[in-house]
Amino acid sequence: MRTLWSYFHNSENRLLPTATSLLNMSTAAVKPPCIFCTIAAKEDATTEILYEDEILVAFRDIHPATDRHLLIVPKRHIASAKSLTVVDMATVTQLVDAGRKVLSEAGVDPADEEVRMGFHWPPFHLIHHLHLHVLYPVSKMGFLSRIVFRPDSWWFVSPETVLQGLRNKSDEQPHQ
């Protein structure tokens, strides 16, 4: 009778490749690699980094919602806009500044009304690594994209709103 052991081991009691791959799969299931951490570490050959500094990277969204659709991603893994704290205010500002810079370099005025920026608000995010969406022009966005990236909805918040929320949080801190 074949035992379970024999399915995974050869005659020399060595682990068979199937067992090894099953083990790898279970490890991956426990801790899936974060795609944005991978891109930020420049370990994803298919992603072109448009801009980079010590704290962030900028690259194109894989599913562009309009002509220009960038993602500005901090190199440090931050789960979402909701998990930001008062100490992250500078990071939010740096993400926005980088977005403006990349737009300017592409000949787009960052102050143009057609520019939209924002963060997903949990649980309405697919990738659990904070990313700023930068979109231009808004008028070329399709019906669905206009809903997904609707400014200051329950699911998509502007950087200004995020910063205001963090300011309020810091005001709430008990004074001693």
Nearest to 118 by CA among 141, 96, 142: 96
> In this complex, which beta carbon is closest to Zn ion, that of residue 36 or of residue 136?
36
- Is there binding between residue 42 and Zn ion (CB under 5 A)? no
> In this complex, which beta carbon is closest to Zn ion, that of residue 4 or of residue 126?
126
CB of 17 to Zn ion, least distance (A): 30
| Token output for 74 | 């901090």
Nearest to 78 by CA among 29, 148, 117, 132: 132
Q: From the candidates 69, 125, 129, 131, which is the catalytic residue?
A: 131
- Is there binding between residue 34 and Zn ion (CB under 5 A)? yes
81 to 120, contacts with Zn ion by CB under 5 A?
Answer: none
Answer yes or no: 131 catalytic. Answer: yes
Q: Coil, strand or helix: which one is 93?
A: helix
- Is there binding between residue 129 and Zn ion (CB under 5 A)? yes
Residues in the interface with Zn ion (CB under 5 A) total 5
> In this complex, which beta carbon is closest to Zn ion, that of residue 76 or of residue 169?
76
> In this complex, which beta carbon is closest to Zn ion, that of residue 42 or of residue 77?
77
Strand ranges (E), 26-126: 49-52, 56-60, 68-74, 116-120
Residues 6+ apart with CB under 8 A from 8: 15, 16, 18, 19, 22
- Is there binding between residue 77 and Zn ion (CB under 5 A)? yes
Q: Coil, strand or helix: which one is 57?
A: strand
The phi and psi torsions of 60 (rounded to 5 degrees) equal -80, 145
Please give the residue ranges that form the binding site for Zn ion (CB under 5 A).
34, 36-37, 77, 129
**Active-site amino acid positions:** 131
